[in-house]
Structure 1
Amino acid sequence: MQVSDDIESGERYEATKSLYKALYGESESDARHVLEECGKLSNGALHVFTLHNNTPLHKTCYIKNYDLANKLLDQLPPDFPISRLMFQNSCGNSLLHDSSTSNKGVEFITKLLTKAPGMLHQKNRWGETAAFQAVRYGRRHVFLYLVDKIDKLCACPQNGFDHLYFFQRHDKTTILHMAILTGYYEGEPWCTWSAIDNIRTQKRSQEDALELVKILVSLDTSWQKTYRKKPEVTPSINRVCTNYVNKAAEAHDIMVNETTEDENGSISYDNENGDTPLIIAATAGCIEIVEEILEQCPQAMEHLNRVGQNVLHVSLKNRNLNVFRLVLKKNLDIRGSLRVIDYHGNCILHMVGLKKLNFAAVKLKSPLLQLSDNLRLFEDVQMMCPSYLVNHRNNQKMTPFELMELNNEELRSNAKDWLRQTAEYCTAVIILIVTVTFAAAYTVPGGSDQNTGFPILIRKPFFIAFTMTDVLTLSFALTALAVFLSLLTSSYKLRSFCRSLPQKVLFGFTLLFCSVTMMMISFASTVILIFSGRKQWTKVFIYIAAFVPVFIFVVSYIPLYVKLARTLKYWFITKCLGILPLPACITAMPKDAYGFRRGGI
């Protein structure tokens, strides 16, 4: 991890810590505090104060607080160097890059380009211009504004720029690729813009090239040699950690194997694998230490380990969801943390698809519940993430869901077998119940009148109870039979294990419980009709004896039933009862090819 040389010294840490927190505040006092603190710094709002070389003005644009951004920009002296204004952080993003992620920033962008027009053609580490960033986040108004500026720039040949420079990054991905990847393409200007049509026309006019391609394809035999995809997961931790992160962890007596002292006298703690205290705590699920570190030094949110993963990646990869929720609750630069991609090309969604590294604390669950938990976690994280990460491919050329399919294939197979066995056993029980119920229906308690054919005990209250419960038993049992048969004939697609199959299992168990309960009530009613002349204590004993099988049956399956109910509780509330409907920003999200909703951050 490259740490900026401009990071403040220890004595100025307290001031910049309060500045960092105030930037994420929403009150007027927070804004005044930011303006006051930036006024004290040598470079003003362009003073580097985070691990990734961000400045207060970068952060203000990133969190879309353009009122404060305008004030910070106006606070800079008139003779402020343009080269400093065009400063790029460790990702290569300029102020224009960060402000192009929202349509609300057009006014600020106008003022920014007036001061430093060279920002228009600045590229970040991936070769993305601000216009490219606008397409990534679907910011139509910003894109149209920047395109107007780009057209004027490209109209003069002496400037040395063409449109492809602005709309294609280093890996040859164009704005059309990005628009399709993020889903922002229907009716958007980057799909109908005239320059795109010109490029498309030029490519299609190369008929000789197309003929050459046909010949080369016919001669190609490389496809006969293929390779099996094998994901490589090599967890390793960075040895670099800032002084204030380590001091916070030291207060909690973190045991380390090595201490190193640099030439400036700051001490760095790590273990033999290079684990820093924050990463160790997030990996182990030590929520108290993580909370203390982030409280003492909020800039630690940006800390990356040796493979480029932050605390969100590590906690999610190890399924320490309490730590993950804590970091989200802190609400400090969450958007930026969710967008981090590690050196293996894995985004935050890929972390859900990876297998958990430590199985010591895993509670024993059925394969169905384990797989359902993984898929629901994937769905929850996906709703938080930017939409372009849904189809992002890592270094193994795998999207998050493809990685999840690969790593959960064995679990899916086990869940499939578990479902089949459960459905078969329950089907056998249901057939037995139906057989007994039919026999009871045609063998009327007390017999029938030889003259009229009506049951002798027809006027007894418990006979009515017997009749109703017998019919209900048959209805519940046959419906449950249909549900479990549908489980046996299911296609068992991975996404079905998220809610569809658990819903069927829960519904089938509910019907089976009701069927067994009604059958025992019917049995008790029959016995009471036959022994109606007995004493009161005899009836009580009959009641108890009749419901003992029901009690044992319910107690045996209630843990699984409760877990299934918890799995589907949110779905049941939002879809069936309509008490807590999904927010409009989520219901409006399109679903991807796997049936999950795309993110919206």
Structure 2
Amino acid sequence: MEQIPLFNEKMKLAQKAAMAKRWEDFKKIMKDDQENLLKQFDLFENSAIHVATRSNSPRLLRELIEMLPKEERWQALCKENREGNTVLHEVVFCKKKKMADVVFEIEDELLLQQQSSSLEEKRTLLDMRNHRGETPLFMAAMHGKLKMLKHMANRTGTRNMEDFRKHLHRSDKYSALHASVMGQHFDVAIWLVRMNRELAMEKDEKELTCLQLLAKMPQVFRSHTHMGLVKSIIYHLFPDNGYEIEDDENFQLFKHKSDVENGKLDERKLAKSVISRTNYKFWKRFAKEFEGIDHMWKEKKIHKLAECLTNILVHYDFSWQISHNEYKRTTMISMPRDPISVAKRRRISAQKREERRKNDEEPPERTALLIATKTGIVEIVEKFLDVNPEAIFHVTENNQNILTMAVKYRQKKIVRIIQRKGAIESLVGQISDKGRTILHEVARMDYYKGEHLAGVAFQLQDELRWYDKVRRLIPKHYNMHCDIDGHTPEDMLEMEHDGMLKEAQKWLKETAQSCSTVAILVATVVFAAAYTIPGGTENGTPVFLHSHVFLFFTIMDVVALATSLASVVVFLSILTSPCELWDFHKSLPRKLNLGFALLFLSLMTTMLAFSATMLLTIRLEWKNWTSTLIYSAAFFPVTIFAMIQFPVYVMTRSIVKHLWKQIKKVLPMRLVKCFTNLN
């Protein structure tokens, strides 16, 4: 069958001109062949009028439409492409609001000049929907075009909320607010919910509100963004306010908007607003000069807008009020019939565990507070509990509360928030419909996400630490409580972590064996160096005996030998350890960290001894540039060793944090006692 060309030669020339953004040439081609204006221009079934919107030139768009006879102009405005978009749908993506004005002006002219009934019965361009049921206003909100959205909204008249709201919904119950939240266009979402607060309580086809959607997006909040020291400093230098500005021409912070309307904005607030505006504009312009800083600026803008939207939406979430609390003054504890041996625990097959996990499938959580708890969004949880303090006691259908969610999803920051609220004692006694306490939930691996730690041994240590911390929160008799399968928390801990334990044992043995080999090699080298004294001897006395460099060499060699042999002893003790589960809580990680520290010290002192040997052998002056070069070369391997993230640094950091917490607790008490004694 013979195929007919879809586009003629003139259309191809016009396509090339449009792709190259040569709009004058594009206009000339269309003017010479006006019958192509309404024909298919590309594979998306756009017309030349659709394509003209990409020029962002109101004059070009008007001229192309006016090339058509008056009776065909309405058809040109209403013509749909493959997605069902009219010209006004495509205008949404333009930067200039005058592009929409051109379409509106031509539409008004047609309505005035042609009073035929056929035209009057047709819907306006703003009412027309594409194949997905989206109006131009909906598309503007979905794609984050706030200025165009507000401009088109003025055309509809936002005073009539019912007329305005019909433009903000798609045929599948999906609202423009949901679309803007999913697209992370939070400035649009803030404007929409302030224009119509009923949108905040609406649900999509999956029965999710916008706050529930936001609670599933931890990446848009600061608490889930990891930054280095330099980036954190730059991030904190950026202003905290001003990101929710409506537009640059009419600057006004939302938090001051109500005061302006009520006439209560005093001079102090006005001055603060002006300072905030100046600071915001300065950093905004400065960020545009540097790509990395601009990326961080946009990141903080998203974080602040997400927080601002959260502060609004939490006031309209009432899902927590449907709770399944059962007041129990005493809780009956199910005691184990017989103690389960370790061998019996390990005989539980993987198939039975999989069957149990299938039976443990939980219904999807619908409460925004608990969704935010699962994802670890601190900002939503804190604001939610500030607005609705009683929501902390909300209980789900399967008898789980906020503490249960935070514990089993390893959200330690959320647990600290609950502790600050003083609600731990009221929440720890909750037992789920499966008969599990929060200690059972800690022991389960179903919701475990591996931390960024140095090895499996330290991941297992982190799990045991978390289990031990939760165990201290609950009453002691809960340690003996059995779930519906007859397992205590300790039983479940050993069964669930059996695979991780085997991996940790293997990793620990291999690491200790490799490091002990390196330590023995270092000990051999420095031991031999002690008998080959630099410079030799005369009558048994070292030639450089009275040199400070020789003394330095001697000290470094002795320290290197002592630390390398000590590290060998530490690694050998690890190799001979039974490596039981709770050995990974403190004992084995401490030994491994100590071995790493001694090995690092032995390598460093070995290189220092080597540097001293070179200085003694070739007799360089201390202030000579060559000595600096030799020291730099000597420290090069040590620097590389230090840059590798050995667990010793994790250990050191945790020790420093622990000591600082203890100092902060003790210091105020000491100061109070001192002042008391003085008085």
Could you state the TM-score of these two structures normalised by the residue count of structure 1? 0.51
Corresponding position of 1:398: 487
Q: For residue 650 of structure 2, give the secondary structure of its aligned residue in structure 1.
A: helix
Which digits, 9 at most, give the CA deviation of each residue in 1:155-195, with x for residues without a partner?
A: xxxxxxxxxxxxxx9x7x7xxx99xx9xxxxxxxxxxxxxx
User: Which whole-Å CA distance do the structure 2 matches of 1:278 and 1:456 have between them?
Assistant: 76
Q: 1:299 to 1:316 in 2, by over 3 A?
A: same
- Does residue 543 in structure 1 map to residue 634 in structure 2? no
Q: 1:418 to 1:573 in 2, by over 3 A?
A: farther
Q: 1:493 to 1:52 in 2, by over 3 A?
A: same
Could you state the TM-score of these two structures normalised by the residue count of structure 2? 0.45
From 429, 440, 443, the equivalent of 1:353 is: 443
| Cα shift at 1:279 | 2.4
User: Which whole-Å CA distance do the structure 1 matches of 2:440 and 2:510 have between them?
Assistant: 32
What letter matches 1:502 in structure 2? P
- Does residue 488 in structure 1 map to residue 575 in structure 2? yes
Query: What aligned pairs does 1:439-588 form with structure 2 within 5 A after superposition?
Result: 439-449=528-538, 452-533=539-620, 536-558=624-646, 560-568=647-655
Q: What 5-or-longer segments of structure 2 have no aligned partner? A: 1-320, 667-679
User: Which whole-Å CA distance do the structure 2 matches of 1:578 and 1:502 have between them?
Assistant: 25
User: Which whole-Å CA distance do the structure 1 matches of 2:616 and 2:405 have between them?
Assistant: 66
Q: 1:421 to 1:460 in 2, by over 3 A?
A: same
Query: What aligned pairs does 1:300-449 form with structure 2 within 5 A after superposition?
Result: 300-332=391-423, 334-357=424-447, 359=449, 362-363=451-452, 365-449=454-538
Query: What aligned pairs does 1:110-149 form with structure 2 within 5 A after superposition?
Result: 126=332
Q: Does structure 2 retain, via aligned residues, the 8 Å contact 1:237–1:276?
A: no
| Cα shift at 1:92 | 4.8
Q: Does structure 2 retain, via aligned residues, the 8 Å contact 1:458–1:464?
A: yes
| Cα shift at 1:91 | 3.9
User: Which whole-Å CA distance do the structure 2 matches of 1:496 and 1:483 have between them?
Assistant: 15
Q: For residue 390 of structure 1, give the secondary structure of its aligned residue in structure 2.
A: helix
Q: Does structure 1 retain, via aligned residues, the 8 Å contact 2:394–2:401?
A: yes
Corresponding position of 1:5: none
| Cα shift at 1:436 | 0.7
Q: Does structure 1 retain, via aligned residues, the 8 Å contact 2:440–2:492?
A: yes
What letter matches 1:345 in structure 2? G
| Cα shift at 1:570 | 6.5
| Cα shift at 1:369 | 1.7
Q: 1:466 to 1:274 in 2, by over 3 A?
A: closer
Q: Does structure 1 retain, via aligned residues, the 8 Å contact 2:480–2:489?
A: yes
Which digits, 9 at most, give the CA deviation of each residue in 1:450-480, with x for residues without a partner?
A: xx21111111111111111111111111111
Corresponding position of 2:388: 297
| Cα shift at 1:523 | 0.7
Query: What aligned pairs does 1:253-292 form with structure 2 within 5 A after superposition?
Result: 273=364, 275-292=366-383
| Cα shift at 1:288 | 2.7
| Cα shift at 1:579 | 9.6
Corresponding position of 1:43: none
| Cα shift at 1:365 | 4.5
Which digits, 9 at most, give the CA deviation of each residue in 1:194-229, with x for residues without a partner?
A: xxxxxxxxxxxxxxxxxxxxxxxxxxxxx9xx9767
Q: Does structure 1 retain, via aligned residues, the 8 Å contact 2:451–2:459?
A: no
User: Which whole-Å CA distance do the structure 2 matches of 1:274 and 1:578 have between them?
Assistant: 41
Which digits, 9 at most, give the CA deviation of each residue in 1:4-40, with x for residues without a partner?
A: xxxxxxxxxxxxxxxxxxxxxxxxxxxxxxxxxxxxx
Corresponding position of 1:597: none
* Greater length-normalized contact order (CA 8 Å, ≥ 6 residues apart): 1
| Cα shift at 1:51 | 5.2
Q: For residue 542 of structure 2, give the secondary structure of its aligned residue in structure 1.
A: coil
What letter matches 1:512 in structure 2? L
Q: Does structure 2 retain, via aligned residues, the 8 Å contact 1:51–1:299?
A: no
Which digits, 9 at most, give the CA deviation of each residue in 1:289-341, with x for residues without a partner?
A: 32333233333222222321111111211112222222222223x21211111
Q: Does structure 1 retain, via aligned residues, the 8 Å contact 2:553–2:613?
A: yes
User: Which whole-Å CA distance do the structure 2 matches of 1:422 and 1:563 have between them?
Assistant: 17
Q: Does structure 1 retain, via aligned residues, the 8 Å contact 2:323–2:394?
A: yes
User: Which whole-Å CA distance do the structure 2 matches of 1:539 and 1:342 have between them?
Assistant: 69
Q: Which structure would you say has the larger Rg?
A: 2
What letter matches 1:528 in structure 2? L
User: Which whole-Å CA distance do the structure 1 matches of 2:520 and 2:534 have between them?
Assistant: 22
User: Which whole-Å CA distance do the structure 2 matches of 1:379 and 1:499 have between them?
Assistant: 11
Equivalent residues, number: 334
Q: For residue 307 of structure 1, give the secondary structure of its aligned residue in structure 2.
A: coil
User: Which whole-Å CA distance do the structure 1 matches of 2:348 and 2:498 have between them?
Assistant: 19
Corresponding position of 1:25: none
Which digits, 9 at most, give the CA deviation of each residue in 1:489-528, with x for residues without a partner?
A: 1111111111111111111111111111111111111111
Corresponding position of 1:4: none
Deviates most, 560-569 or 455-464: 560-569
Q: For residue 357 of structure 1, give the secondary structure of its aligned residue in structure 2.
A: coil
Which digits, 9 at most, give the CA deviation of each residue in 1:60-82, with x for residues without a partner?
A: xxxxxxxxxxxxxxxxxxxxxxx
User: Which whole-Å CA distance do the structure 2 matches of 1:400 and 1:378 have between them?
Assistant: 9
Which digits, 9 at most, give the CA deviation of each residue in 1:370-416, with x for residues without a partner?
A: 11111111111111111111222212222212211111111111111
Q: Does structure 2 retain, via aligned residues, the 8 Å contact 1:236–1:307?
A: no
What letter matches 1:504 in structure 2? K
Q: Does structure 2 retain, via aligned residues, the 8 Å contact 1:237–1:275?
A: no
| Cα shift at 1:549 | 1.4
User: Which whole-Å CA distance do the structure 1 matches of 2:509 and 2:659 have between them?
Assistant: 24
User: Which whole-Å CA distance do the structure 2 matches of 1:394 and 1:432 have between them?
Assistant: 53
User: Which whole-Å CA distance do the structure 2 matches of 1:417 and 1:380 have between them?
Assistant: 26
Query: What aligned pairs does 1:64-143 form with structure 2 within 5 A after superposition?
Result: 90-93=326-329, 126=332
Q: Does structure 1 retain, via aligned residues, the 8 Å contact 2:324–2:399?
A: no
User: Which whole-Å CA distance do the structure 1 matches of 2:395 and 2:500 have between them?
Assistant: 31
User: Which whole-Å CA distance do the structure 1 matches of 2:502 and 2:659 have between them?
Assistant: 27
User: Which whole-Å CA distance do the structure 2 matches of 1:570 and 1:382 have between them?
Assistant: 22
CA RMSD of aligned residues (A): 3.3
